[in-house]
Amino acid sequence: MFDEHRTPGGVLGGFIGLVIVSAMAGVLVTAGIAPVLAVTGMAATNTITVFENLPDYVAIDQLAQKSNIYATEANGTKVLLASFYDQNRVEVPFDSMSQYVKDAAVAGEDPRFFEHSGVDLQGTVRATVKTAAGGQTQGGSSITQQYVKNVLVQKCEAIADARKHDACYFAATETTPERKLKEMRLAIGVEKRYSKNEILRQYLNITGFGGTVYGIEAAANYYYGTTAAKVTLPQAASLVAIVNNPVKFQLDYPTSASNGTANGYAANRERRDYILTEMYKQDKITRAAYTEAVATPVEPKITEPSTGCQSAGSSAYFCDYVTKKLLNDPVFGEDAEERRLKFRRGGYNVYTTLDLDLQRAAITTMNKNIPKVFARGDVGGVISSVQVGTGRVLAMVQNKDYSQDPAVQAKGRNYTGINYNTDFTEGGSSGFQPGSTYKVFTLAEWLKEGHTLNERSDTRRKSNWGTFRDSCLGPQNYDSQEFNPRNDQNESGSNYSALQATIGSINTGFIGMAKKLDLCGIRKTAESFGVHRANGKPLDQGASSVIGTNEIAPLTMAVAFAGIANRGTTCSPVAIDRVVGVDGTEIPVPKTTCKRSLDPKLIAGMTYAMQRVMTNGTAQQSYADTSPRVPMIGKTGTTDGAKDTWMSGATTKVATVVGVVAVTGTLNQRQFSFDSGYAATARHRMWPAVMSVANAKYGGGSFPEASGSVIGKVEAPKPKPTPKPAIPKPAAPKPDATPSKPKPEAPPAEPEPATPPVEKPKPDQNGRGKNPKGG
């Protein structure tokens, strides 16, 4: 083994003797290992045996590259939303590299690259002698050897286990004669299998250029805002200079004392000019080109790469949703770490379902109507659109600026990393109460259990509703809790039909309907439309849940309304159309799963009622302001105290959910306005803005006609009992007075939520109450 106490003279003497032995053995030229033998002091015959037993081949594998997420314009143009990487690299072919880059690499790193067979004997001897004589450690590695070392390091980088990764990296980079022998052996093997141009191409693609910048294409873009094909001569030499010592020569530390703007990036320039001189000596450039290049100052133009979803701007939350799919769906890997490595290093080109026309409409109306920061409280705005029949997510917007950086979030309430549109596992939100939009599932169960739209129920307001049927949990009674939901305008009708209750969103009407139904059945029907709580817990199924107290993600409700519009077939949401690997191979993506939620004949009854919500009920404003107008279904929702307001609806092509919510705390939206108008009606300004674009682009057909057996006969309301006449008393004389003017009627509004039988609200992950009053 290596003798640490050998003198330089002893090393040189041994080296000279070994050269003679190696030459006689005929291995010096073919293997180029004599310099290593000289340093190690190992016997020539023993070392040759070791050398021959080493692996002789390292494959040119796919390099770690950044993954890109795209949206597509209507004309087919791909729009980059964001890129992700552990190593910022874009692999490019040989023809996409400037000749200046190729010549600079050879001149600066391996002048005899096109002459040797993988190991530069002359350079290695020179480096060995200088090192042995007590000078600074010399590299002496050929481009092929450097490439081999980079390949071994890259293989280590792909190891998920930290301990195994570190051990691999140490073995690939440790400064030992044994490691150098292996590197040489592999370099010779590479030279036997690949052309010089192919090796040089891979070397320029794999090598590091400082920080997370890898490969000449990313380096040209980052340091000079150009491409590998378009770099100038001085730029090419400046970039190749970085390879020699990235920390010393990289150009993105302008305040560096040794290599910054103050001294004209002196360290890099010195190395650059050395490379230019070598290029001139090797007749790669003319005297005039050399003179002009060395006179050119080093002036980097740092161009930060777009990385992470924050670069997607107002589409950042959709981008975040896509990344969660890539990182969480088993389609992309067996475990979380495998999926992360594939995404961050696999060079995916991800083509999403985002419809940029709808997305822009959603962004515009959101910015117009809901402020990012509101002085009176923490207000959130959400919009989710889904294509009917496919589950493709077409739009996803909220009123906040996206950032996952706590330091950025601390700058203002306009920043958040929570995606209000999705489930907790897909964006960190625990959902919001949908209020009366949830009533459509009671309507579905009503028809499913054989009732008709015109059938009436006891809808009087009372605190003694009695016992509700529940086939899962057993009979449920809330009288001791004084369950006493009320209606917004204090409607006191005692005999509403299911159709009337739907059109007017009457709370007591739906409680009366639920009294005739199975509470467990209502929950199961909601689940059949893909409805689930955003926090992953089971849906509550008590009487109060009928009027919308479960916390549900807006995207989930959009999927459910799309299922209603799709004649009762609900399709799970998908955000990715295609994923293409760097080699052009199609990678499997998650597919939507569609299931029958309700018989189409019963769905026809639902859509019959929900169309009348639009034309005659609580959603008239959204209907009137949508243009072009096609058949549409809808349902409004307001939670207790008008804290959250919703407009959910669909055509036969697109479903959209719009909400204005209290992210934390409580705010009565009927008591304040935004710059755009009354807060409680902002939903009716935003929903038409999105659906007008959807209708113009996708159109919309007619919903199926409801049968008479589903609509039912119009039942006459039960007559109210006639009160007994009171015996009149003599009226006391009154002084003359001017009759007062009658008070104007209050404008029609959606029924106010009722008070459910619940415990005191507790804050959840959104800072909201666990069981606010439904509406």
Calculate mean pLDDT across residues 566-575: 98
**How confident is residue 141, by pLDDT bands cut at 50, 70 and 90?**
confident
Given a cut of 50, whether residue 409 has pLDDT beyond it is: yes
Given a cut of 80, whether residue 719 has pLDDT beyond it is: no
DSSP string, 513-572: HHHTSBHHHHHHHHHHTT---TTSPPPP-SGGGGGS-S-B-HHHHHHHHHHHHTTTEEE-
- Range in 44-58, 258-272, 359-373 with the lowest mean pLDDT: 44-58
Given a cut of 80, whether residue 46 has pLDDT beyond it is: no
Please check whether residue 344 is in contact with residue 65, taking contact to mean a CB–CB distance below 8 angstroms: no
The whole-chain average pLDDT of the chain stands at 85
Please, which residues have CB within 8 angstroms of residue 576's CB and are 6 or more apart in sequence? 322, 325, 326, 350, 351, 352, 353, 589, 590
The residue behind tokens 């890997």 is: 333
pLDDT tens-place string over residues 234-272: 999 999 999 999 999 999 999 999 999 999 999 999 999
Question: Residue 373 carries which DSSP code?
Answer: S
Given a cut of 80, whether residue 56 has pLDDT beyond it is: no
Question: Which pLDDT belongs to residue 550?
Answer: 97
Question: Which pLDDT belongs to residue 403?
Answer: 94
Tell me if residue 754 falls in helix, strand or coil.
coil
**How confident is residue 771, by pLDDT bands cut at 50, 70 and 90?**
very low
The residue behind tokens 């481009």 is: 143
Question: Which pLDDT belongs to residue 738?
Answer: 31
CB-hemisphere CA count at 13 Å for 476? 22
Calculate mean pLDDT across residues 184-200: 92
Triad 555, 557, 558: Cα angle to 5° = 60
Calculate mean pLDDT across residues 645-659: 98
Rounded to whole angstroms, how far apart are CA atoms 44 and 315?
A: 65
Given a cut of 60, whether residue 45 has pLDDT beyond it is: no
Terminal-residue alpha carbon distance, the chain: 83
Q: 416 - beta bridge partners?
A: 402
Nearest to 91 by CA among 64, 59, 67, 109: 64
Calculate mean pLDDT across residues 423-444: 97
